[in-house]
Amino acid sequence: MNTVKIDKKNVLMIAHRGLSGIETENTECAFVAAGNRSYYGIETDVHLTKDGKYVVHHDENLQRVFGVNALIKDMTFDEIRKIQRSENGEKAAYSVVPTLKEYLDTCKKYEKKSVLELKIEYDEKRLQEIIAEVEKAGQTDDIIYISFYASDIEKMRKLLPTARLQFLCGEINDQTIDFCVKNGADIDVGYPALTKETVAKLKSAGVKINCWTVNDKAVAENLVSLGVDYITTNILE
């Protein structure tokens, strides 16, 4: 299986949870698969374990991907790391929940932008810890922080005046645009909200547009024609 190529013009493609259309989402295999292709960035989600370690996984619960009904926040890192996903009936050492450091190191190795979703409302201390991990990995200039939480965007802007931020949302209105402008953030929006008119409003306000999660070639190429800046996808390239 391979990616589906599109006429992307100058649009920057983001691999959603790694190359999750081919490999298990948010695993090292998915990140490496994206790293070996032409993606601009690799997106993932950061969670905090019970003992204060940062791991990358989309859901707060491990059930859907790893078959274990447990919340990340209620487990220690060592407990989480012992869980391996079965691949073709066998436990695979590479199919574990990666650490934030492992994800960042892979992005660095393959010269990809890190697109890091802050999955909870973090306090400033925790955000500073994440920033320190990013700095240690040498990704400070090569990361985009994204979040559905306005408070995370506001705190990150305070802590990092020049960082690239994207506000995640499902719809676009004047309040959303005003928030982005006020906080120097771009937008990362569910693609059905994008029309010729909404794209024009965002462009007029100086807000760059990322959109999720686009897996249909025709839909993607229409978004390219509308003028989006990024497309987040599981399988398109």
- Burial of residue 40 (CB within 10 Å: 0-12, 13-18, 19+) is middle
State the distance between the two ends of the chain, measured CA to CA, in whole angstroms: 13
Domain ranges for the chain, please list them: 12-233
- Give the pLDDT mean for 144-162: 98
**Whole-structure pTM value:** 0.97
- Fold type of domain 12-233: TIM Barrel (3.20.20)
168: tokens are 């995640």
Q: What's the CA gap between 29 and 132, in Å, rounded?
A: 25
Q: What is the pLDDT of residues 177-212, one digit of tens each?
A: 999 999 999 999 999 999 999 999 999 999 999 999
What pLDDT is recorded for position 42? 99
130: tokens are 């994440």
Q: What is the pLDDT of residues 23-78, one digit of tens each?
A: 999 999 999 999 999 999 999 999 999 999 999 999 999 999 999 999 999 999 99
* Whether pLDDT at 92 is above 90: no
User: Taking the CB of residue 91, how many other CB atoms lie within 10 A of it?
Assistant: 11
* Whether pLDDT at 93 is above 80: no
Q: What is the pLDDT of residues 131-145, one digit of tens each?
A: 999 999 999 999 999
Q: Of all residues in the chain, what percent carry a pLDDT higher than 90?
A: 95
Residue written as tokens 């929006």?
189
> Which residue blocks in the chain are alpha helix, DSSP H?
28-35, 63-66, 77-81, 100-109, 124-136, 150-159, 174-182, 196-204, 217-226
Q: What is the pLDDT of residues 37-52, one digit of tens each?
A: 999 999 999 999 999 9
CA distances from residue 26 to 43, 114, 203 in whole angstroms, order as listed: 9, 13, 31
DSSP β-ladder status, 186-190 and 209-212: parallel
